[in-house]
Amino acid sequence: MPNLITLDFETYYDKDYSLKKLTTEAYIRDPRFEVIGFAYKVNDGPTTWVTSNITATLKSLDLENSKIIDFARAIEAKLKEKNG
């Protein structure tokens, strides 16, 4: 049975650069886009907050073989695009 992984990304924003002012696509393609950190939970395990080694941590979660609850799916797609 696949793992159930919950993800929640926190990203840089300011008064002029936010999802309130831009479409999701424009926001994640903007050069100011930056993931500050993310939280994840696997099944009923503890929630873990990550601020360093973000790409390596995501790769270690085996997302392709898991069911994902993602509060920022477009952000995850951008990370995959940038980091393979």
Enter the pTM of the model. 0.74
- Residue 80 dihedral angles phi and psi, to the nearest 5°: -65, -40
Residue of higher predicted confidence among 46 and 78: 46
pLDDT at 76: 61
**Residue 39 structural domain:** 4-83
- Residue 17 dihedral angles phi and psi, to the nearest 5°: -120, 95
How is residue 26 annotated by DSSP? H
Q: Count of domains in the chain?
A: 1
How do residues 17-69 score in pLDDT, each as one tens digit? 988 899 888 988 899 999 999 999 999 999 999 999 998 998 899 888 999 88
Residue of higher predicted confidence among 80 and 2: 2
pLDDT at 28: 85
